[in-house]
Amino acid sequence: MKIKAVLFDMFDTLMMIEYNHEFYIPSLKAMFYALKEKGMESSFSEFKEAYTRARDELYKKADLNYQNKNYYEALNFYKELVKDDAKNDYLNLKIANCYYKLNNYTYAQLFYDKVNEEKISADDMVTWAKIWLHNEKYEIARR
């Protein structure tokens, strides 16, 4: 059994658990032992390293597509990453900006609204105000 193929099957669950660190390693170990019983032949450290590489690769692909202005592709990667981590400010901001660049202001606003305002840069705050204007929320845009 190839580790990389298995990691993508459980990626969403592990992403969700990772942000609650007290459950991350025990959950990762539980999945490791379950896969080991199914015939996977690797150590826990190899398994954890392969998972981390696979997760980081998705972030790299998403960010590279965003930098290259492939907003639709970037959006797909970011949405996959945020599936089970709805409170991730970085991902929600990237998704909001992708939607904005794709002229989908309704969804852009939905994702901007999920971001902690303290994490929003001045440039992103201007974009957020533009989105409110596009969505005819003038009172909010003025503040």
> What proportion of the chain, given as a percentage, has pLDDT over 70?
78
Q: How many CB atoms neighbour CB 130 within 10 A?
A: 14
What confidence score (pLDDT) does residue 100 get?
A: 93
Cβ 3 vs Cβ 42: under 8 Å: yes
Task: Look at the block and give the residue holding tokens 């929003």.
Answer: 120
Mean pLDDT score of the chain, rounded to an integer? 80
Distance CA 7, CA 55 (A): 9
DSSP 135: T
**Non-local CB neighbours of 58 within 8 Å, separated by 6+ positions:** 11, 77, 80, 81
Q: Where is average pLDDT lowest: 14-18, 59-63, 86-90, 138-142?
A: 14-18
pLDDT in tens, 45-104: 998 888 788 878 989 999 999 999 999 999 999 998 888 677 889 999 999 999 999 999
Sequence-distant (6+) residues with CB within 8 A of 86 are 92, 114
What per-residue confidence (pLDDT) applies to 6?
A: 46
